[in-house]
Structure 1
Amino acid sequence: MKKIVFLLCIVLQLNAEEIYATFDIEAQKSASLAFSTSGIIGKMNVDIGSTVKKEELLAELLNDDIKAIVEVSKVALKYAKSDYERQKKVQQHINESLFDSYAYKYDNAKVQLKYQETLLDKTYLRAPFDGIITAKRVEIGDVVSGQMITEVFDIQSLNTRKLILKFDQKYHQKVKVGDTFKYKVDGDDITYSGIIYKIYPTIESKSRKMLAEVKAQSFPVGLFGDGYITTK
């Protein structure tokens, strides 16, 4: 039995092929962040190099006016609810249309509060995922536009990276998800190993190269290198 397994391994090794590929290192996640509404930057809580958690508050527009409207809406809802509940207790004794008017005021007050809270929430810019701030494009006092999409911060994942592999198109039927990629980063003598988890379905028209992705950790974004894909 051991002899059979040994021979099978030899056959697999003979059928395996090593395909040369170059790569660039990118963050696993990256995004340019902007407010979805217009206003004036009032607070900035982070800077370039800041490590942030998902949903952490990064920046805030001047919003005292919207906060005041939210408080007014809360008061309006409080009294509309009180009136509605009071009329509901005597509903059978009053005109139906009159009761409906109280129900309408109550429902409308709830909607108005929700609307104002949504406007207030748009004045806060939060981190979409755990990461590190790599660029800051505005300062306190700058005017931003939701329509023109004024970018505020760039963010990328803190440690998780991906290698964007490029290899000759003639191997498009040989390279598969799950193949091993052994590689070296430029300026580093250590040989690393990873598994291809994504293959792009198109070929670059200019370079005639196919692209694939391999997950990695902690390399600085922007580095490059090369290696060999071992096909199964």
Structure 2
Amino acid sequence: MNCLKKTHFFYIPLSTLVLCLLFSSCKEKKEKEKRDEKKEKPTIVDVIVATPQALTSVVEANGTIIANETTELRPEVSGRLTYLNVPEGKSVAQGTVLARINSADLEAQVQRSKVQLEIATKTEERLKQLLDINGINQSDYDLALNNVNTLKADMEYTKTLIDKTVIKAPFTGTIGLRQVSPGAYVSPATVLATMQQLGRMKIDFTLPEENSDLIRIGNTVKIKLEGRDTTLRRATIIALEPQANRQTRNILVRAVLDNANVNPGAFAKVIINNSTDKRAILVPTNAIIPDDKNNQVILVKNGKATYTNVQTGLRTDNNVEITQGLSMGDSVVVTGVLFAKPDAVLKVRKVVKR
């Protein structure tokens, strides 16, 4: 009974087997057609035609506003503050006494040296008289004279230390916030306050070494202050750092800002124009594919994507100058860049006009 059941299950009608094979073959064929259709489906892109366009050399740089003069008020000697006159946020004249440090011990030392100097001077005078009559050796008199000169030098040194206990305004300017209180013990590392001269503002900015030919002492640049009035201001270049930074290869430039009421430390955008215009091939910034060593663009050639290395030059807000790698009439992909693989089939949707 079991043997009959197994034999009945094993045999399959021939017609059913043929139908299964035909169905499987059709299914595989359809799937292959779908894969081929998907594989050959072109990527839709927009292109621009490479043509020379007018290019004005405009270079932008980041700058920082600085005061004409700025300093940190620090004592030159250590001690306790006996006098403090630091008017926060107010202007003070050059030479104004801002603080004094206790100098009682130094003044006492000066008085001591005065007494010693009087005695040493009288001794030197007596020995001089004896020397004139050959009553003493020359060496004895030289020792006495040396003692007098040493005491005089000690007094001058002590007086210099006393002068250092007085902190004066180094220039006419505005005092910042006071950092200490009267009676505090201070040292040369202590900052009493900062001081700025705000009458004439400067701006420091860095520029790539390759653009150094755009900068000359006496030239003017345009300044745009961020977060304030967007009116473009003018600044006159007064100095350049002769050595480029070894890490960034940038040059530090300083200019004087004309008529700008702005706080030191503020950020500003520096705009430098080149008086010479030229014609160059420009492509949108998003068409550039950066690589480890090169920049690339995608060209449409024979309906396929061709990656081409290019060299870039000046940059504007939205475009980049191509100095090498493109020829007039080349079709450059500007949209769909991320989907266009090398040798992929491309379909140009439209040519972008500029």
TM-score by length of 2: 0.53
Q: For structure 1, which segment, 112-121 or 174-183, has the greater mean C-alpha deviation from structure 2 after superposition?
A: 174-183
Q: Which residue of 136, 143, 150 maps to 1:108?
A: 150
CA distance in 1, matches of 2:130, 2:204: 70
Establish whether residue 43 from structure 1 lines up as the match of residue 83 from structure 2. yes
CA distance in 2, matches of 1:226, 1:120: 47
Structure 1 segments unaligned to the other structure (5+ residues): 1-13
Q: Which residue of 85, 93, 105 maps to 1:53?
A: 93
CA distance in 2, matches of 1:36, 1:170: 44
Contact persistence 2:95–2:170 (CA under 8 A): yes
CA distance in 2, matches of 1:129, 1:34: 14
SS at match of 2:107: helix
CA distance in 2, matches of 1:31, 1:66: 27
| Higher RCO (C-alpha 8 Å, min separation 6) | 1
1:166 deviation in Å?
A: 4.1
SS at match of 2:60: strand
Q: Which residue of 244, 251, 263 maps to 1:220?
A: 263
1:210 deviation in Å?
A: 4.6
Q: Which residue of 112, 115, 121 maps to 1:72?
A: 112
SS at match of 1:95: coil
- The answer for the alignment partner of 2:60 in structure 1 is 20
- The answer for the alignment partner of 1:193 in structure 2 is 234
Q: Which residue of 161, 164, 168 maps to 1:122?
A: 164
Contact persistence 1:27–1:161 (CA under 8 A): yes
Contact persistence 2:88–2:175 (CA under 8 A): yes
Letter of the aligned partner of 2:235 in structure 1? Answer: G
Task: State the percentage of identical aligned residues.
Answer: 26
Q: What do residues 48-93 of structure 1 show as CA deviations (whole Å, max 9, x unaligned)?
A: 2232333432211111221122223234334433443454355312
Q: Which residue of 215, 220, 232 maps to 1:180?
A: 220
Letter of the aligned partner of 2:238 in structure 1? Answer: Y
Q: What do residues 195-215 of structure 1 show as CA deviations (whole Å, max 9, x unaligned)?
A: 212234335957x86542111
Contact persistence 1:20–1:229 (CA under 8 A): yes
Larger Rg: 2
Q: Which residue of 178, 181, 186 maps to 1:144?
A: 186
TM-score by length of 1: 0.76
CA distance in 1, matches of 2:213, 2:86: 47
Contact persistence 1:159–1:219 (CA under 8 A): no
1:16 deviation in Å?
A: 8.1
Moved over 6 A (4+): none
CA distance in 1, matches of 2:86, 2:95: 13
1:17 deviation in Å?
A: 4.1
SS at match of 1:37: coil
